[in-house]
Structure 1
């Protein structure tokens, strides 16, 4: 197999539509469905076998977490936006990435320049110091590549969700709270929480068929607290409640609406449809998607950007540009460059100096909503 470093290939609506009909799109959706089905009725605290591949991946994620702990945020009290120490963290991860991948069992050495790109991009954007559903998608693609290359197998699917993916989310919470990562785009990730989508999808799968917990239970603080240790969905609700005050209907209206759905089966199927439409179906997200030899693109070619284009915007168009892509005028701010939004952690610290509830990262305070 001939490997190649992934690159952006989608800029126009025509290319997006081709991608949605492509084998790569089908493979990504199928992989999400497979992982989703693997954790139906499974708790985060359930016993789960751990293969050599799973152990090695968890070790890599622990190393990333340690890099973050060894790279504290710099004093930046004048700004409520991303902390520049994140760029130092990002560069350290990039420098260590090849050696970290060399420790993964069965991974061909020649594949590392391709596979590691998805891994490196999964932690946020170095230039904008932000994070959104596109970066989360990169982590999923990294796992898909590792499975294609034999690092993990079908028997690892449950562990990939409740151990590996959940470890990634916990690490991201540390990065978000330490470096005050901004949500990518002015509306966060489509109204679920400011950063993530997949924990709600997989989390609703965990709860499918539950005998007595219903979606409306997210409004009961005691239930949320108790079950946040067992289910991703409740862990995410608990996280939101711990940094934001007032009712969910004010700061998370979509989650509030979803809580009225009668069954977790319907929540789960609705989450998948929403992911297809609002993440894999939106140009502001997919224009950043990277295609290599494993996840390939053979559709209409993307026009080459001008050499002096800002690296942060390379490969996609904005309103008023002549590169042929839908800009923010057509598709909204979305999960792209948009209007800078202060981190919820920064806003919280500015508004309330009293200690907040426990969380996975330092310096976190509730955000009041009037």
Structure 2
């Protein structure tokens, strides 16, 4: 995404000459102890990642999922990649097992991705950028949940955003892809993650229970609240209204999330999703959006249990950000 301006007015460093600037490497963990978190917050990776999230947050402001936007060839290829992951779920039904949660068929499904991730990513990149494939493929593999624990959470979601950010940094995605990245690609990713969660009864990774925003996701609440900014009729207090959800979820990512929660959980909304219930009392969507960004930084990006699993390479570097 060449020279995109963030809300702060700073130019985001998410576009460089991929053939000359990067010495591609297989990303690895760098945050091994709590004191290492300082390295993360000072890193180029953190600056690029949060800049990418905020750029997309601005891009989707006041826009519906059903609005018109450009869909590039690379976006179409990304959707094809996600369709492949979806088809593998259909080909890998849950197995009978004593425990209710964490169906071991997920490991079979994940093994397919592990074996084919580089081929899937290779199909997205032109010949002169194939050297980036092993680096970018790691973020795709990290984005679907943990094979051993059979769980999924905001760290895996962050890996998918990092995957998209890397595709921008090697310039196979551009500024014109912003809306399609959220409304087509990320929305489709969410659908597949929900299908994984339901099919294989995946555990929430690092869930805070009733004190967390959601068991599995966070970014769609940020971008979804941005869609609602300055909405003429729908206020935050309306998103818990069943009729509002049913009438508008096709247009708003936030309502899609609430609809899924209502399908998966029983009992009063205020009890099973207390943090979201509290958000319904905020007076404006702009305040909701700002509050969720602060909460995301504090509860996800600055939490060691989440970031200890993040991997760093040349595209998302642990090196300190240039002053």
Cα offset for 1:206?
A: 0.6
CA distance in 2 between counterparts of 1:49 and 1:298 reads 34
- Please, which of 99, 102, 117 is the counterpart of residue 97 of structure 1? 117
Give the corresponding residue for 2:3. Answer: none
Which segment is superposed worse, 11-20 or 61-70? Answer: 11-20
Pair 1:38-2:68 in alignment? no
CA distance in 1 between counterparts of 2:43 and 2:68 reads 37
- State how 1:1-370 maps to structure 2 within 5 Å: 1-76=22-97, 78-106=98-126, 108-187=129-208, 191-298=212-319
Structure 1 residue runs of 5 or longer lacking an equivalent are 300-370
CA distance in 1 between counterparts of 2:303 and 2:289 reads 20
Secondary structure (helix, strand or coil) at the match of 2:121 reads helix
CA distance in 2 between counterparts of 1:233 and 1:163 reads 15
Cα offset for 1:218?
A: 1.8
Which segment is superposed worse, 228-237 or 290-299? Answer: 290-299
CA distance in 1 between counterparts of 2:304 and 2:214 reads 20
Which segment is superposed worse, 276-285 or 242-251? Answer: 242-251
CA distance in 2 between counterparts of 1:231 and 1:31 reads 20
CA distance in 1 between counterparts of 2:210 and 2:46 reads 20
Give the corresponding residue for 1:343. Answer: none
* Aligned 8 A contact 2:206 2:305 in 1: no
The structure 1 segments of at least 4 consecutive aligned residues displaced by more than 3 Å after TM superposition are: none
TM-score, scaled to structure 2: 0.89
* Aligned 8 A contact 2:135 2:313 in 1: yes
Cα offset for 1:219?
A: 2.3
Residues 196, 188 of structure 1: CA spacing in aligned structure 2 closer, same or farther, 3 A cutoff?
Answer: farther
Structure 2 residue runs of 5 or longer lacking an equivalent are 1-21
Question: Which whole-Å deviations, capped at 9, do the CAs of 1:293-352 have from their partners, x for residues lacking one?
Answer: 1111137xxxxxxxxxxxxxxxxxxxxxxxxxxxxxxxxxxxxxxxxxxxxxxxxxxxxx
Give the corresponding residue for 1:328. Answer: none
CA distance in 1 between counterparts of 2:130 and 2:207 reads 39
CA distance in 2 between counterparts of 1:239 and 1:186 reads 17
Cα offset for 1:245?
A: 2.1
Which segment is superposed worse, 46-55 or 185-194? Answer: 185-194
* Aligned 8 A contact 2:196 2:202 in 1: yes
CA distance in 1 between counterparts of 2:289 and 2:69 reads 22
Cα offset for 1:188?
A: 5.0
Secondary structure (helix, strand or coil) at the match of 1:279 reads helix
Higher RCO structure, 1 or 2 (CA under 8 Å, sep 6+): 2
Which segment is superposed worse, 277-286 or 185-194? Answer: 185-194
CA distance in 1 between counterparts of 2:25 and 2:211 reads 32
Cα offset for 1:13?
A: 2.9
Cα offset for 1:18?
A: 2.3
**How many residue pairs are counted as aligned between the two chains?**
298
Secondary structure (helix, strand or coil) at the match of 2:301 reads coil
Question: Which whole-Å deviations, capped at 9, do the CAs of 1:32-58 have from their partners, x for residues lacking one?
Answer: 000111101111111221011111111
* Aligned 8 A contact 1:52 1:105 in 2: no
* Aligned 8 A contact 2:89 2:109 in 1: yes
Q: Which structure dedicates a bigger proportion of its chain to helix?
A: 2
RMSD across aligned positions (CA): 1.4
